[in-house]
Amino acid sequence: MKKVLLTGFDPFGGETINPSWEVASRLHQRKLEGLEVEARQLPTVFHKSLNLLRQLLLNVKPDVVICVGQAGGRSDIAIERVAVNLSDARISDNEENKPIDEPIIPGGPAAYWSTLPVKAIAAAIRQDGIPASVSYSAGTFVCNHLFYGLQHMLASDYPSMKSGFIHIPYLPAQTAERPNLPSMSLDVMERAIEIAIKTSILSVCEPVA
């Protein structure tokens, strides 16, 4: 049975909930057409999140890794295509770190591509009636930090493993006092990530779109 490692973050920036972990925790240990999902929470902290992820790769030994993060203000499921070697924080992380214009991996490549079938994932989610798109900017906060670090680890140590990052919108409760910001229900986002998992597992033996 193929194994998928699915990660979400803890709340940050004054929030009491993070939809990425709410979705990931719902899918923990779910068996989907010959694959099993292992979900883990990561801290919204530069470097610490990467160190924990490195250990998870050793312990879980997944075939596919999908990291999920919150992107407040976005209106759809955003399948990230590229991670850049830059941490440039507008706000502090959960341990008060606030790197400015710092490389994630000194001397590393400027960017890494996702190795998930990003176009196929977005198309499959849209086919189910859920808004989705391919995104070309994962930002420069902890989400991009984790995404770049993950791709670097896999390029160096796990070349056969596939991996990438997906951003999801706020939950409706998070926009109760932000009436102009979009949101998406937990049930819909769970369905979208389930579709992303099923589509991604095919990339283990098929070319990336």
From the candidates 22, 38, 67, 80, which is the catalytic residue?
Answer: 80
From the candidates 143, 145, 152, 194, which is the catalytic residue?
Answer: 143
143 part of the active site: yes
From the candidates 22, 38, 67, 167, which is the catalytic residue?
Answer: 167
80 part of the active site: yes
User: What is the residue-wise DSSP string for the chain?
Assistant: -EEEEEEEEPP-TT-S--HHHHHHHHHTT-B-SSEEEEEEEE-S-TTHHHHHHHHHHHHH--SEEEEEEE-TT--SEEEE-EEES-B--SS--TTS----SB-SSTT--SEEE--S-HHHHHHHHHHTT--EEEES---SSHHHHHHHHHHHHHHHH-TT-EEEEEEE-B-GGGGTT-TTS-B--HHHHHHHHHHHHHHHHGGGTS---
Point out the residues that are catalytic: 80, 143, 167
